[in-house]
A = this chain, B = another copy of it.
Amino acid sequence: MKKYVIGVDLGGTKITTAISDLEGRIIEKTTLATGSHLGEEVVMNRIFESISMVLEASQISDEEVRAIGIGSPGPLDAEKGTIITTPNLPFKNYNVVKPIVKKFGIPTYLDNDANAAALGEYAFGAGKGTKHMLYLTVSTGVGGGAVLNGRPYRGNTSNALEVGHMTIEPFSKHQCNCGKYGDLESLSSGTAIAKRAKEAVAAGRETSLKEVETITSYEVHQAYLAGDEVAKEILDQAFMYLGIGIANLIVNFDPEVIAIGGGVSKIGDLFFDKVKASARERSFDFMFDATKIVPAELGQDAGVIGAIALALIESEDK
């Protein structure tokens, strides 16, 4: 009877909500501005509105919906349904699950966006058919999520797989936004790559990047492709460190698949070849060989598909 689920991808700038069947096929989808600057209540009402919109557009009654999944930036408490605090949303220790359950009478589950993406890849993407898989996103930051023994793995405080904050180079001079030195995010994120490029330019090194007004990892990659030696050194180092982080995940989690998404991973073969070479060197061959390190498969809709997967998986055993 309950043949549908709803996924809500809650972001700092927009809310994308979709209703799907139990195979994750999207029937209706809508996108609203989050309106973060307008406060908690406005954002909560826009979440309500987006859910009502997909229900109406699909002409599905709320009684036919098995569950709602919400993917949000963290830190949050998945068990309680509370967003603790996050830079781009107004919620402070705010329970976003209860008001939805109250309004729609549908079981609702919250998870951070990296975990939701992991569930999306597990259910519909690169992790399909596995028992143990990790998802990494290498973007502005470095984050992750896990499915272990076929279940979402969140840990004790819902913050497992904070992979970006593994220490990789204890006496590094590079500092992370979190305050620590030499963690993975300080060495291999898009932010770190851009920083290294700016440092090279500031140090007067001979590189085409000194002509670029706003340097991001994209421009560093472009310079690399054009034969820029400084750009090559920067990317090689970032990917080498990421490979060490991945090797540490392999020896600890012994997963079947590590699916990697996020802007920096879009560099493609160059990224995967260098990361894998470094990860192989730092793990055991037989464990490395047993781990598929692959691009995440879900594209543009990854966020909302992750939220749909969350709804599906969490309501499975109920």
Residues of chain A having any CB pair with chain B under 8 Å: 131-132, 148-149, 151, 153-163, 165-170, 178, 180, 241, 244, 247-249, 251-256, 282-284, 286-287, 290-291
Contact = CB atoms under 8 A, between A and B. Distances in A.
A247 B253 CA distance: 15
Complex copy number for this chain:
2
Contact of A155 (B244, B254, B284): B254
Contacts of A244: 167, 170
A99 to B, nearest CB: 26
Nearest 9 CB-CB pairings of A with B: A155-B254, A160-B254, A162-B251, A166-B248, A156-B256, A165-B251, A157-B290, A159-B254, A167-B282
B255 A165 contact: no
B157 A287 contact: yes
Nearest to A254: B155
A26 B253 CA distance: 33
26 contacts: A131-B156, A132-B155, A148-B148, A148-B153, A149-B153, A155-B254, A156-B254, A156-B290, A157-B254, A157-B287, A159-B251, A160-B252, A160-B253, A162-B284, A162-B287, A163-B251, A165-B283, A166-B248, A166-B251, A167-B244, A167-B247, A169-B169, A170-B282, A180-B282, A248-B248, A252-B253
Nearest to A165: B251
Contacts of A154: 254
From A158, A165, A244, A249, residue with most partner B Cβ within 10 Å = A165
A239 to B, nearest CB: 13
A252 B283 contact: no
A252 B162 contact: yes
Contacts of A151: 149
B252 A249 contact: yes
Contacts of A166: 248, 251-252
Given A156-B255, A158-B254, A159-B284, 4 more contacts: A160-B253, A161-B254, A162-B252, A180-B282
A98 to B, nearest CB: 23
A171 to B, nearest CB: 8
A166 B282 CA distance: 8
A147 to B, nearest CB: 11
Contacts of A287: 157, 159, 162
A300 to B, nearest CB: 29
Contacts of A283: 165
